[in-house]
Amino acid sequence: MSDSAPSVSSSPAGGTGPSRTLDLSLAPTPPMGWNNWNTTNDGPEFDEEMVLATADFFVSSGLKDAGYEYVNLDDCWALPERDEHGDLVPDPVRFPHGIKALADYVHSKGLKFGIYTSAGSHTCSPIGFPGALDHEEQDALLFASYEVDYLKYDNCHNEGRDAVQRYTRMRDALVATGRPIVYSICEWGQNDPWTWAKGVGHLWRTTGDISDNWASLLELTKQNMVLAEYAGPGHWNDPDMLEVGNGGMTDTEYRTHFGLWAIMAAPLLIGSDLRRVTPETMEILLNTEVIAVDQDPLGVQGAPIRSEGGLHVFVKPLADGSRAVALFNETDEAADISTSAAEVGLPEAASYEVRDLWAHTTEKSGGSLAENVPAHGTALYRVAAAG
Ligand code: GLA
């Protein structure tokens, strides 16, 4: 992957000091894992027991084997005040054994561990936890001492200061620790990070926060689907974490969520409480054929080649020459959506193999692809020239 994931260096904000290089090969494909925020917000169930159980469940459920790797903490892991040395302090009620012990446990399962703070004076929670603005080097060193593998860096309380400088300064601080850390820029798309964040972070939010409802899913999809040209190995658009399994959408809508995130090469960070998920949720999250679309090594973000009246045809070229194709119906009625091998960019061939990634069946086609797609549904295929 390193061929297509070149390292990028640039001078830190202000132009002084050594230039730092972000290792883009740390995220050759979109990161996969879990984060507590979408299920806990700042509630008390975000605690050590939950994180340890999540790591255990990654292994026992097959999520780890399916490619999910990062177990990430979001906001509210620290106390509202730094200690006398200016260091962040883990909340002893939520995390009685501290953060390093959590990281060690997650690592002992062959998984990776992530943490969160904000490029501001405080994080986003109204409770008011300290952020890393003007503490970048100290906090990066603390995270490295915890042996974190991933940092989500939020945007609250940024004092109106320049985003490129704030995010670059943390990039430099992380690189200076010498520890490989995937760097997730959570700037909500406010300053068009897709135009400057390649080489600053490995992924950047393109949207505001997702909510567990259809309107939110649709809005974020539309914001992210026009940005395909900016994504690639080591530099991904991030339309926010998954809501699959949180209860606010139907399973049809959650399949659409997962399928569209996969075809858009989005990070797949599970946002549900894995101690309580249904078999239907697990079937979606463990669909390895859909995951393979997301994780395809070519690293192209799929995009709509046609959108008319709420009916969309998304195409993602894959490394083996085949195409992932999503027929997405955003409307409230079932609808016929069709395309063809030629339209999705496949070479002329006598026949095509059409793999249905939800039904796990393969059919032959002379070149046409048509489906009656339910309201809010997405048919998802992998199509290859058969000879
Ligand atoms: C912001 C981020 C969310 C989450 C919360 C935590 O809203 O965009 O993803 O991290 O902060 O407070």
Question: What is the pLDDT, as a whole number, of residue 61?
Answer: 98
Tallying the residues shown for the chain, one arrives at 387
* Strand bridging mode 361-365 / 352-356: antiparallel
User: Residue 234, exposed/middle/buried by CB under 10 A (0-12, 13-18, 19+)?
Assistant: buried
**Selection from 333, 319, 313 nearest residue 379 by Cα:** 313
Mean pLDDT, 10 residues at a time, the chain of 387 residues: 43 52 97 98 98 98 98 98 98 98 98 98 96 98 98 98 98 98 98 98 98 98 98 98 98 98 99 97 98 98 98 98 98 98 98 98 97 98 93
d(CA 64, CA 73): 17
Choosing from 35, 36, 37, 187 the residue with most ligand 1 atoms within 8 A of its CB, the one to mutate for a pocket test is 37
d(CA 34, CA 379): 25
Q: Is 209 one of the catalytic residues? A: yes
| CA-nearest residue, atom 9 of ligand 1 | 209
Token pair 């339209």: residue: 343
Q: Is 74 one of the catalytic residues? A: no
Q: Is 154 in the pocket of ligand 1 (CB under 6 A)?
A: yes
d(CA 262, CA 291): 6
Token pair 């990066």: residue: 140
Q: Which token pair is 61? A: 């459920």
The gap from C-alpha 141 to its chain's centroid, in whole angstroms, comes to 24
pTM: 0.95
| Active-site option among 47, 75, 139, 154 | 154
Question: What is the pLDDT, as a whole number, of residue 306?
Answer: 97
- Find the 212 Cα to ligand 1 centroid distance in Å: 14
- Find the 186 Cα to ligand 1 centroid distance in Å: 8
Q: Which token pair is 128? A: 């008011």
Question: What is the pLDDT, as a whole number, of residue 20?
Answer: 78
Question: What is the pLDDT, as a whole number, of residue 15?
Answer: 46
Q: Where are the beta strands (DSSP E) in the chain?
A: 8-10, 20-22, 32-35, 70-72, 112-118, 150-154, 182-185, 203-205, 236-238, 268-270, 303-308, 311-317, 323-329, 335-340, 352-356, 361-365, 368-373, 378-385
Q: Is 75 in the pocket of ligand 1 (CB under 6 A)?
A: yes
